[in-house]
Structure 1
Amino acid sequence: MQRNIDLEVCEPDVKRAFNTIREAFRAKHKLLICGNGGSAADAEHWAGELLKGFRHKRPLSPEDRAKLPEKLTASLQGALPTITLTGFPSLTTAFGHDVDPELTFAQLVWGLASQGRADRHYHVRRCSQRLCSTSGGALSGPPNARSGG
């Protein structure tokens, strides 16, 4: 927020999102992320950063080190379990064509996460729309009425 004063209005939402994600990881949950167009590329990039060290190498836990051969423990890093919903082109195109393109990510959440939690897609979509509109589109441009961001 310090580098981009225009994002100060988003600070409470960013902190709330951070705390929610941190607590989810602490509870051994996975993070499911998505986006459309350039935001899909951002989601892939963020997943890559979370699945390995980012600014600092994440060491493996002692429990994980004990389970793995030495060759792996010397190279692998601790990971924050993250799945991008953008890496399923066959499903996304088929579901979008056959059912409803606006519900593609909800179908993926339904299939990958605990069933009955597809409503989370709508929550994420509403939050991302609000975040983009309050930041003047600084993060990913103005929200798109069809794609939600």
Structure 2
Amino acid sequence: MGRPRAFDEDEAVRAAVKLFGSRAYDGVSVDDLVTHLGVHRNSLYKTFGSKRGLYLVALRRHLADDVRPLADALASAPDAATALRLVTSADLGLLLLAAVERAPADDDVAAEVATALGAVDRAVADALGIPAELAAALTAAALGILLRGDPDGVGTALSQRLDPLA
């Protein structure tokens, strides 16, 4: 029988979400993981199999903890302006990095990203009563604004134009 784990797996995964979400997969080394997660290298490999294994667990956690609640909130968005504000204020760093960095090279990541974005698109379409293609375009615009960091206030200006009360 092996020794009990000397680390909290849940806490390590949450820390990995933050690390991968701020520096991307290729920007994080195994040494970085060991240092930031407080996990011994052998424990990391024994628990997650590899850096990629930990990345997939972290990505799935991010999708469950951050993206699924966003989709739930979007499902009750009363208008496009609210939907835009919800998306542009969400913590979607890891999802965005996964979409641009890992999804093109990793089928598992691509499937997770596609599922998550599909859920967001469906929530927007259902809430606003619009076709799926239009919901996907609205989601893409919101993610683009989020990705840009909205330096010019485009998201605010767009949400004000979309807001029926403005």
TM-score (norm 1): 0.28
Higher relative helix content: 2
